[in-house]
Amino acid sequence: MGFGQGLSGLNAAAQNLDVIGNNIANSGTVGFKSSTTSFADVYASSRVGLGVKVASINQRFTVGTVNGGGGEYDIAIDGAKGMFRVTDQSGAVMYTRNGEFLVDKNNFIVNAQGYRLTGYPAGAIGANPVELQLPMANVAPRATATATTVANLDANAKVIYETDTTTDPGADGSVTLGGTAYTFTRDGAGTLSWVTAPPDGTYTEGTETVVITGGDGTIASGDIKLIAGYSEFEAPTVELGRPFDPKVSSTYTNASPMTVYDSLGNSHQVMQYFVKRPAGGSGSEYDVYYTMDGKAMAPTTDVSGVWGNPQKLTFNNAGTMTNAPVVNLSFAQPGGNTTPADPLNIALDYTGTTQYGSNYKLVAKPDGYTSGEFSGINIGGDGSLVASYTNGETQIVGTIVLADFSNLQGLQPVGNNAWTETAASGQPILGQPGTNGLSKVVGQATESSNVDMSKELVNMIVAQRTYQANSQTIKTQDEIMQVLMNLK
């Protein structure tokens, strides 16, 4: 027996303890991947082994627990497939599972070592990865170009007339004048015509007195003068005309506001005034007038206080709208003479608008928005970096890229929770999280170390016993040598 076998065992056990100690030391390191030691026996030409050697240090790329409640920019890979791709200050590319990120003074997403997270530019999935940088400028405004209005216009609403209109002409009848009955008829406008005209004169019946003049067969204006009511002559109902005026609520049936934006992001209020008109043909009609900030918006016109050119909405007897649903609104100078905004043109779509016998209701959804400042970031499961702005808008400013390797064991650990590719690992396979077999990511979360503490403690006991046993072989060899030396 030689000393070599025992010495090799001591060295192998010491390296195993080093690996176990490193695992235990990094049990709290985010994204850390533990390692195991593989041993191999050593033989020469004899049948007796020459001891043991460390064949390799194998990394375990199993998934650690994903813990939520992290920082705003923390990211966890929710699965075994994928590693973050980062670059150091020199531009060298490394890979890591540590998703503890923050933002540096230049708005780059970096880890504690200053390595920058890389990904795809906005709208360029599959392009060469770039260092991801959060926006610093305000999001540009967007002028309103389209809007939808889905409304129900009450079929039971009262009609509003533009001119004085006889709405109830009354009925044919008769009246007794001077003891003689005279009959009359009425036309659609309420005008009375005598069947047999009474003589001109003043007639009194009880407490009622009437004067008949111009008894020419037609009772024109002034032909009848009611002295005391003479109830047999029922006057027709005349509805007073009320031309549209946005300042007078009795001239329209309903009104609803809608906020729109010009090319500079300034907000404006567009009003839709719905006016129920008399039924035309087999359906019903509504006129719609449009104003923006109190001024007529085409197609509506306002000439010296006379409003005209409304949009007509027509409905059949089932309450379904029958006219073309899209109305093109325009305003030449939304910013006035002092703010040079582009002309505002809006395609207003009334698809789905009805006229049923229920209360008025309107839902308007215009597009467009004002400018807004960057307020935060949300990270989607597909790696999308969704920036939020103070105007309520969001936009994707980039997408995290993940890398996978054919042989993860071939990666070279370089410290700081990072690895670099080698010839043994193969080239990285890049992609968007959740595609091509890559895992999804979780925002505001981190992946804990995959170290199993109980297992490591057991392994440490075994390694310790192994070390002690190898030391005993050396001690035994020494005792044998002492016996040989004492034979003399």
* Helices 453-486 + 3-25 axis angle, to 10: 160
The answer to whether the CB of 30 falls within 8 A of the CB of 417 is yes
Which residue stretches of the chain have pLDDT < 50? 215-229
List C-alpha distances in Å: 36 to 56, 96, 154, 454, 464. 8, 19, 77, 15, 15
**Which three-class secondary structure state does DSSP give residue 53?**
strand
Listed in sequence order, the residues at least 6 apart from 249 whose beta carbon sits closer than 8 Å to its beta carbon are none
Instruction: Supply the DSSP symbol for 410.
Output: G
CA distance 309 to 210: 46
CA distance 14 to 428: 34
Residue type for 413, please? P
List C-alpha distances in Å: 108 to 118, 393, 420. 9, 22, 21
Q: Are strands 102-103 and 93-96 parallel, antiparallel or unpaired?
A: unpaired
What is the number of alpha carbons within 13 Å of residue 366 lying toward its C-beta?
Answer: 24
Tokens of 27: 């049990």
CA distance 455 to 28: 15
pLDDT score recorded for residue 229: 43
pLDDT score recorded for residue 274: 97
CA distance 295 to 297: 6
pLDDT score recorded for residue 225: 42
Listed in sequence order, the residues at least 6 apart from 208 whose beta carbon sits closer than 8 Å to its beta carbon are 226, 227, 228, 229, 230, 231
Per-residue model confidence as pLDDT tens digits over 159-209? 999 888 877 777 777 777 778 888 877 776 667 777 777 777 777 777 777
The answer to whether the CB of 117 falls within 8 A of the CB of 377 is no
pLDDT score recorded for residue 235: 65
Per-residue model confidence as pLDDT tens digits over 212-245? 765 444 444 444 443 334 556 666 777 888 999 9
DSSP string of 314-348? EE-TTSBB-S-SEEEEEES-TTTTTS-PPPEEEEE
Sign of the alpha-carbon dihedral angle for 196, 197, 201, 205: positive
Nearest Cα to Cα of residue 383 among 368, 369, 367, 403: 403
The answer to whether the CB of 455 falls within 8 A of the CB of 449 is no
Alpha helix stretches (DSSP H) within 78-154: none
Ramachandran angles phi, psi of 330, nearest 5°: -150, 155
Residue with tokens 């460390």: 54
The answer to whether the CB of 77 falls within 8 A of the CB of 432 is no
Provide the Cα torsion 14, 16, 20, 21; round to 10°: 20
Nearest Cα to Cα of residue 12 among 69, 57, 74: 57
The full length of the chain comes to 488
CA distance 304 to 162: 17
Helix H or strand E encompassing 211: strand 208-212
The shares of helix, strand and coil residues in the chain, as percent rounded to the nearest 5, are 15, 40, 45
pLDDT score recorded for residue 97: 93
Please, what's the b/e burial string for 225-248 (b: 16 or more CB within 10 A of its CB; e: otherwise)?
A: eeeeebeebeebeebeebebbbee
pLDDT score recorded for residue 226: 39
For the chain, how far is it from start to end, CA to CA, in angstroms? Answer: 20
Instruction: Supply the DSSP symbol for 4.
Output: H
Computed over every residue of the chain, the mean pLDDT equals: 87
Listed in sequence order, the residues at least 6 apart from 337 whose beta carbon sits closer than 8 Å to its beta carbon are none
The answer to whether the CB of 460 falls within 8 A of the CB of 17 is yes
- Give CA 68 to chain center in angstroms: 23
Instruction: List 69's β-bridge partners, or say none.
Output: none
Sign of the alpha-carbon dihedral angle for 215, 220, 224, 225: negative
Residue type for 63, please? V
The answer to whether the CB of 401 falls within 8 A of the CB of 428 is no
Please, what's the b/e burial string for 117-139 (b: 16 or more CB within 10 A of its CB; e: otherwise)?
A: bbbbeeeebeeebebbbbbeeeb
pLDDT score recorded for residue 487: 74
The answer to whether the CB of 78 falls within 8 A of the CB of 440 is yes
CA distance 134 to 119: 12
